[in-house]
Amino acid sequence: MDWKVSARKEPELLGLALRSVRESKGMTRAELKQLMKDESCTEETIRAYEEDGVPMGVETFFAFTKALGITPNDLAPTSVMKDATSALGDYARLNGVNKRMVDQMIGLFLRQQRPEGGE
């Protein structure tokens, strides 16, 4: 699998899944926005995730699953969950120093994923 190609496709798949779940619940973007309880989440932001394949941060992903009353598995593309499961196994095998370094790198990455104005 070409990681770079799949990484570009994952936000698009996640956005399509978000829209599909939202619509299957008969929910508008405005209604989902209200459930998000996040002032930075607008209807336009939801549209960008769903239609433009804009990548979302981990916190936003979990906020959507909570607002929609679903599990992460219900929203994430299968390939994302498979990669995440594999990565968690690798992470579990790290020693303390390496684990802390990975935690710091993940924290930096997540901060860079936030849109301007914070998330």
Structure confidence at residue 92 (pLDDT)? 79
The confidence score (pLDDT) of residue 21 equals: 92
Q: Which domain holds residue 20?
A: 3-113
Give residue 107's pLDDT.
74
Q: Is residue 118 part of a domain?
A: no
What share of the chain has pLDDT > 90, as a percent?
Answer: 29
* DSSP structure class, residue 41: -
Name the domain count of the chain: 1
Q: Report, as an integer, the average pLDDT of 49-65.
A: 88
Mean of pLDDT over the chain: 78
For residue 52, what is the domain's CATH number? 1.10.260.40
- 83 compared with 64, residue with greater pLDDT: 64
- Residue 41 near residue 33, CB atoms below 8 Å: yes
Residue 88: CB atoms within 10 A of its CB come to: 9
Torsion of CA 18, 20, 22, 23, to 10 degrees: 160
Query: What are the CA-CA distances from residue 25 to residues 31, 40, 49, 62, 99 (Å)?
Result: 11, 23, 18, 17, 39
